[in-house]
Amino acid sequence: MSTLLQVSGLRVQSGPRELLHGIDLRVERGERVGLIGESGSGKTLTLLALMGLLPEALRATGAARLDGEDRDLLTLGDRASARLRGRRVSMVFQEPMTALDPLLPVGRQVAEILTLHGFAGGARAARGRSVELLDGVGLPDPGAAARAYPHELSGGQRQRVMLAMAMANTPDLLLADEPTTALDVTVQRRVLDLMREQVARSGTSLVFVTHDLGIVADLCDRVVILRDGAVVEEGPLDRVFSAPQHPYTRSLLAVSALATDARGRLVTVVDLGSGTTGAVSTGAVSTGAGMTGAATAAAGTQATGAVPATTPADGSADAVVVTAPGRPAAPQPGPHEVLPDQAAPHVFNHLPGDAPLLAVAELRRTYVRPHRIGRATHVQAVRDVSFEVREGQRFGVVGESGSGKSTLLRLVTGLDQATAGSVRIGGREVVGTPERALGWLRRTAQIVFQDPMGSLDPRMRIAEVVTEPLRGVGADERRARAAEVLDAVGLPATALDRYPHQFSGGQRQRIAIARAVVTRPQLLVADEAVSSLDVSVRAQVLNLLSDLADEYGLTLLFVSHDLAVVRRTCDTVAVMNEGRIVECGPTDQVYEHPLHPYTAELVAAAPRLRAAGA
Amino acid sequence: MSATTSGPGTTSGRGTTSGRGTTSGGRPTTRRWNAPLLVGAVMVAAVVLIGLVSLVWTPHDPLVTDPLHRLQGPSPAHWLGTDGLGRDAASMLIAGTRVPLLVGLVAVLISLVLGVPFGIAAAMTRQGGAGLWLMRWNDVVQAFPALLLAMVLAAVRGPSTWTAMVALGIGAAPGFVRVTRAGTLQVLSREYALAARAAGRGPLYTAVRHVLPNVRSMLIVQASVGFALAVLAEAALSYLGLGTPPPTPSWGRMLQDAQAFLYVQPLLIVWPGVAIAWTVLGFNLLGDGLRDRLDPRLEAAA
Amino acid sequence: MLLTVLRRLGVFALTALVASVVVFVLLAVLPGDPARAQLGLDATPDQVAALRHQLGLDRSLPAQYVHWLGQLATGSLGISYSTRAPVGPEVLNAMQVSLLLVLAGMVVAALIALPTGLLAAVRQGRADGAALSAATQVGISVPSFLAGLLLVTVFAVRLHWLPSGGWVAPVDGVGGFLRHLVLPALALGLVRGAILSRYLRSALLDVQREDFMRTARAKGMTRWQALRRHGLRNALVPVVTVTGVELAGLLVGAVVIETVFVIPGLGSLLLRSVANRDLVEVQAVVMVVVLLVLALNLLVDLVYVLVDPRLRRAR
């Protein structure tokens, strides 16, 4: 192997502030390197600096040598670096929806990268070649795809187009910046497989930036861990994942795998980072063991039978559900069932003779997209869904985007009107009740949203935010309740008079949770509540939700696209696909013995650390 | 957005060097003052001050004619010379400050009062279809340019300051409707608006507690720009003889009077011209500066 | 595509119809009796009644509206109070003049806006970019009629290069037509050009922050190439959307400019009819202007659909 790229001492400055503090990075020919870090770690900046695409206000210093070029990549200047971009070094970006020019057919955009770098044969031939390239990335009917505009393609298809462009001139180095983060797991799996195949075929080296350790375990030979603009640890995948040297790497591995400590609580970065008490060291040890299994599997040695047993997932999942302290008697698990073939209505998670807290029956939501001329199109977001949730259950709903899971939540919480069916909470009907008459529902069921940025009004003080659901309560009591509930979510009373922007993402999500529990609801509905958080924060928020559920006796309805998170959080899970629940049952049973083919595909596609070798 | 400082008596322009760049993780650094804001505020303050002074003092009585000293150039007695009737140009210019300021203020207020509730209602009733009809109606009103409306109103009611204010206010309202509606739609698409509903709060609460505070900065910017447009339109109306009737001094009318003497005393079009441009520029810069300062693009506020 | 066009046409027709009601009501319901106003105070009630009948003012308002709509459709646009002749031909003549002026103004504006907007965006943050931006800021603060007066002072009064006013129709000599067109078109276009230039600049600055611009550069384009191949096209989309408002502004600006340069367009006609209190003529001119504004907006809408493939499918 010869070295393709040698970066040493890369620093990036924004005015007086230094964002990258001297990064060293080496990439061999044909090697696949994973660049791992949470938001703000500088992983994207590193790629942009190498591409010469840093925003104008930022300045890069240091050295970056690409084999075969005499000049330093960092000092090339726009024109010289443009000649390398797309020819020797290519890049695929995170957001497929906005990365393509919306006004041009994608075929022309692919042809452009050919002609830019002197494709022999002219424009017509370039266009023909672009159809071949689109065929190569597995787009059905590549001729039609070439004529399509970006908005006519799905996210996964657009990312395939991006990949076709990036690989068009068989570059020596492909830089990928979280290229699958915005995609569904099954689509992600296919795009990753395609990328691996393309890179392998043309001998291209890959630098893959991600926060997702599961993907890296699956794809890369070597990993580099970044934190706050500096390299924390670097080495071959096996070594780093099985014997991490740096405490941050250890904790990152632990929180990514949603590892738990002896008491069944999720390990958080704080626990591991401090590294002093006994409880912490048990966490680290058990995590280390789990990681060994995962990494061995990832390295290709198919550990049979032993792996599931040693991974922390199994033993500790039970611990969360059953042995958590202070928890009332766990509700009886429901049956494990799959959607019957006939369209006969089936009520999931139903136990005879039990009065459920939430009973959803034949719920349907059809959106009519009106055409002012011509026929309206009907979009069936939720199709005849029936299930029950008993008090004290933690009911998870997993599904990909468009599966109808978010619509289901909104119907249950009365934020959207069902087309047909019934939603009963505590025996009272939600469907068809005008919003004015839903006061009881607002006291019974509350919701936590995905985006901790968007769910708090930037112009409201925290005290006003968290007491918004309180009606008819005096000013003094409001403040007292606000302070109380903030304390419950682990925030100081000084937060009351601050504004949302003064808090981090994780803290904001705590505030959103505080708002949801301030009325002491029976049912807490969470819509992708941890999906936009960094993994290190994710564990803390999940612990908090679990604690609150115990303390307040909450029933959880937890929606997520992330199977691992649902597995950790919920005792029962329903899998949604195309507006229906296709399978439902106790979480472990569903994950380990999926009955429905879609569930099986979903579980297999998830690039979790555990699933890495599967 | 712009990095301009311009106009007489100011320092040269300096770029607000890519101030948009919200550095990752941190919140946007809002500067309290930027160059356009400062310059605009000073220019506007100067005009307002002169307008106030004119209430109690002008160098001469702006209405007194003096046929013996007509069309004179600047002199110690008449700083800016005299017009075709021998009136003191400086005094008329100073007294002429009041009408555009008054018209601008009232017109913007009318636009706000009409446009903001209308815009919020149009956004909030979008689902039910009523919002669509409200916007169709807005399109109809938008087809009547403010100046045209003012001319029609002047035709039927006779020219007056009131007709000008009302017509310009109504004519500019559709712009306020659009801005308010766009801002409201953004707010409503946020999860905090949904959270308010989940908290059992009604539409009125959402409009007052969530929408208004968040579209406020957009409206301030729009109001500043609307003020500039109203001053421009008022000048045009007065120039056409459809604004404030004589003898009340106004810059537009001064221009009309001066046109007759272009060959004799072209300086007479310079003074009111500079006054109009100065005022409009001041409000435009103020609007630009506020845009930078308040950044009405909601995401930055989060 | 066809559906989209048809739908926009339908909306246009509906809006125009509602606008016609507004114009009619605006001018018909207002106090004052046009017949009395025309005949003077010493007319007998019988004379007034006779004239009212002749003008159709004794009919119900809806009947008057329908009658007026009929006149609109046939192009007579009503019988003038002052000349007792159909106002249609006169209005159409004036409209041609005004449209020529608007078109010329638009050309000037585009010629100014494209290079200055592009340069101000590319050189943003540097001295020349800032200076350009400042210049356009001043440009939009000058009313077009003031620009007209200044142009007349310099090029007509001082230099005697061009006539200070008046109008020569193109059929009466292209040379004279152009000589009379230059100054008013410049006066109109300078200000509108400054506005458009600022729109273009900010649209370009916005576009440069788009992901696909980064993609374009990642493909091997220089900053400038990316701007030329992908940026400009995308920046034009928001610019096109404001062009409708801009054209309306141009039309109204023309109304004022015509007074400065004594051009017999819609503006001059409107001012004259306002002065004569000839409400039929006012009504006709206002309706034509409103229709033009709507038609220009329709045109812009359709161009918008052509430019942006996302809107092409009727949905």
What pLDDT shows up at residue B91? Answer: 81
Q: Percent of chain C beyond pLDDT 70?
A: 94
Residues of chain A neighbouring B199 (CB-CB closer than 8 A): 442, 446, 468-469, 515
- Minimum distance, in Å, between the CA of residue B166 and any CA atom of chain C: 14
pLDDT above 50 (res B3): no
What local confidence, expressed as pLDDT, does residue B115 receive? 93
- Choose from C219, C230, C303 for mutation: most chain A CBs within 10 A: C219
The model's confidence at residue B22, banded by pLDDT at 50, 70 and 90, is very low
What amino acid occupies position A266?
Answer: L
Q: A124 — contact with chain B (CB < 8 Å)?
A: no
Partners of residue C42 on adjacent β-strands: none
C-beta atoms of C282 and B228 within 8 A: no
Residue from the list A78, A104, A369 with its beta carbon closest to the beta carbon of C222: A78
Q: Do A454 and B302 make contact, defined as CB atoms within 8 angstroms?
A: yes
Domains annotated for chain A, with CATH where assigned, are: 243-298 (no CATH), 332-603 (3.40.50.300)
Q: What is the mean pLDDT of chain A?
A: 83
Distances (CA, A) of B218 to A85, A499, B208, B297: 40, 20, 15, 8
Query: Which positions 395-414 of A are in contact with B (Cβ < 8 Å)?
Result: 413
pLDDT at B295 over 50: yes
Asked if the model's pLDDT at residue B59 lies above 60, the reply is yes
Task: Return the residue of B nearest to C32 by Cα.
Answer: B156
Considering only CB atoms, C130 lies closest to which of B3, B147, B157, namely B3
Which residue in A has a C-alpha nearest to residue C209's C-alpha? A55
Q: Cβ of B284 and C150 within 8 Å?
A: no
Query: Is the Cβ pair A98, C230 closer than 8 Å?
Result: no
Kindly indicate the confidence band of residue C275, based on its pLDDT and cuts at 50, 70 and 90.
Answer: confident
Residue A608's pLDDT band, with cuts at 50, 70 and 90, is low
Element (H, E) at C238: helix C232-261
| A315-322 own/partner pairs: CB under 8 Å, 24+ apart | A316/A259, A316/A260, A316/A264, A317/A260, A317/A567, A317/A568, A317/A587, A317/A588, A318/A588, A319/A260, A319/A263, A319/A264, A320/A260, A320/A264, A320/A265, A320/A546, A320/A568, A320/A569, A321/A394, A321/A571
In which band, very low, low, confident or very high, does the pLDDT at A308 lie, cut at 50, 70 and 90? very low
pLDDT at A58 over 50: yes
Smallest CA–CA distance, residue C236 to chain A, in Å, is 11
Residue among C212, C227, C232, C308 with most chain A CBs within 10 A, to mutate: C212
Interface of C with A (CB under 8 A): 3, 6-7, 125, 210-212, 214-223, 225, 229-230, 233-234, 237, 307-310, 314-315
C213/chain A closest Cα distance in angstroms? 8
Chain A residues within 8 A of C237 when measuring between CB atoms: 103
What is the average pLDDT across C70-78? 79
Question: Is the model more confident about A175 or about B62?
Answer: A175
Least confident of A473-487, A575-589, C238-252: C238-252
Burial of A22 from C-beta contacts in 10 A (0-12 / 13-18 / 19+): middle
Question: In this model, does residue A187 exceed pLDDT 80?
Answer: yes
Q: Average pLDDT in the C80-93 region?
A: 80
Over range C259-281, report the average pLDDT.
Answer: 85
Shortest Cα–Cα distance, A499 to chain B (Å): 10
Residues in chain C with CB shorter than 8 Å from the CB of A80 are none
Checking if the pLDDT of A111 tops 90, the result is yes
Chain B residues near residue C22 by CB distance under 8 angstroms = 140, 144
Confidence check: pLDDT of A368 > 80: no
Judge: B20–C293 Cβ closer than 8 Å, yes or no: no
Compute the average pLDDT of residues C123-149: 85
Percent of chain A with pLDDT over 90: 43
pLDDT of residue A311: 34
Residue A239, chain B, CB below 8 Å: the answer is: no
Which of C144, C256, C287 to mutate: most B Cβ within 10 Å?
C256
Residue A271 has pLDDT above 80, yes or no: no
Tell me if A162 and C215 make a contact (CB, 8 A cut-off): yes
Chain A hits for C306, Cβ within 8 Å: none
Q: Do B136 and C14 touch (CB under 8 A)?
A: yes
Size of interface B-C (CB pairs under 8 A): 152
Q: Do B239 and C282 touch (CB under 8 A)?
A: no
Strands A205-210 and A173-177: parallel
Task: Look at residue A303 in the predicted model and tell me its pLDDT.
Answer: 32
- Eight-state DSSP code of residue A70: S
Nearest to C125 among B18, B228, B232 (CB): B18
Structural contact between residues C284 and C87, judged by C-beta atoms closer than 8 angstroms: yes
Q: Do B148 and C256 touch (CB under 8 A)?
A: no
Closest CB to B273: pick one of C15, C127, C150.
C150
Q: Reply yes or no on whether the pLDDT at B139 is more than 90.
A: no
Contact B144 C270 (CB under 8 A): no
- Tell me if B39 sits within 8 A of B10, measured CB to CB: yes
Is the predicted pLDDT of residue C279 greater than 90, yes or no?
no
- Rounded to a whole number of angstroms, the distance from the CA of A401 to the nearest CA of chain C is 22
The verdict on ipTM greater than 0.90 is no
Of A227-231, B110-114, C97-101, highest mean pLDDT: B110-114
Cβ pair A98:C210 closer than 8 A: yes
DSSP string for residues in C115-184: HHHHHHHHTTTSHHHHHHHHHHHHHTTS-HHHHHHHHIIIIIIIS--S-SS----GGG-HHHHHHHHHHH
Q: State the pLDDT at residue A352.
A: 80
Judged by a CB distance cut-off of 8 A, whether residue A57 touches chain B is yes
Q: What is the mean pLDDT of residues A493-498?
A: 91
Mean pLDDT over residues A3-14, rounded?
92
Chain B interface test: which of A38, A209, A468, A533 (most B C-beta within 10 Å) = A468
Query: What residues of chain A, 157 to 176, have a C-beta less than 8 Å from chain B?
Result: none
Q: pLDDT-derived band of residue A327, with 50, 70 and 90 as boundaries? A: very low
Compare CB distances from C286 to B152, B266, B288 and report the shortest one's residue.
B152
Q: How far apart are CA A217 and CA A614, in angstroms?
A: 12
Whether pLDDT at B29 is above 50: no
For B186, which residue in chain A has the nearest alpha carbon? Answer: A454
pTM over 0.90: no
Q: Does A389 score more than 90 pLDDT?
A: yes
Using pLDDT thresholds of 50, 70 and 90, give the confidence band for residue C39: low
Is the alpha carbon torsion for B226, B232, B233, B238 positive or negative?
Answer: positive
Highest averaged pLDDT of the listed ranges A241-255, A573-587, C123-137: A573-587
Q: Among A19-28, A447-456, A553-562, B108-117, where is mean pLDDT lowest?
A: A447-456
Measured between CA atoms, the residue of chain C closest to residue B136 is: C15
pLDDT at position B72 is 73
Per-residue pLDDT tens digits for C188-235: 998 888 988 988 988 898 888 889 999 999 999 998 899 989 998 898
Question: CA-CA distances (angstroms) from residue A103 to B3, C110, C210, C212, C255?
Answer: 30, 22, 13, 11, 37
Closest residue of chain B to A516, computed from CA coordinates = B199
pLDDT at B12 over 90: no
Nearest CA in chain C to B263: C157
Residue contact B199–A515, C-beta within 8 A: yes
User: Model confidence over A130-182: pLDDT tens digits?
Assistant: 999 999 888 888 999 999 999 888 888 999 999 999 999 999 999 999 988 88
Q: Do the Cβ atoms of B192 and A456 come within 8 Å?
A: yes
Section A304-310 average pLDDT: 31
Q: With beta carbons under 8 A apart, name residues in chain A contacting C214.
A: 53, 93, 99
Least CB–CB distance from C145: residue in B13, B151, B236:
B236
Contact C138 B280 (CB under 8 A): no
β-sheet bridge partners, residue A559: A397, A527
Q: Does A273 touch chain B (CB under 8 A)?
A: no
Distance CA B4, CA A362 (A): 62
How many Å lie between the alpha carbon of C199 and the closest alpha carbon of chain A?
20
Does residue A67 carry a pLDDT above 60?
yes
Query: Looking at this protein, which amino acid is placed at residue A45?
Result: L
pLDDT in tens, C284-296: 888 899 998 888 8
Judged against a pLDDT cut of 80, whether residue B82 lies above it is answered with no
HSE, side-chain direction, 13 A CA sphere, residue A439: 5
Contact A99 C214 (CB under 8 A): yes
Judge whether residue B227 has pLDDT over 70.
Answer: yes
**Mean pLDDT computed over every residue of chain C:** 83
Q: Is the pLDDT of residue B166 over 80?
A: yes
Q: What is the pLDDT of residue A62?
A: 92
3-state secondary structure of A505: helix
Q: What is the rounded average pLDDT of the residues B104-133?
A: 89
Binding partners of B (≥3 Cβ pairs within 8 A): A, C
Residue C150 pLDDT greater than 70, yes or no: yes
**Per-residue pLDDT at C29:** 64
pLDDT reported for residue B159: 82
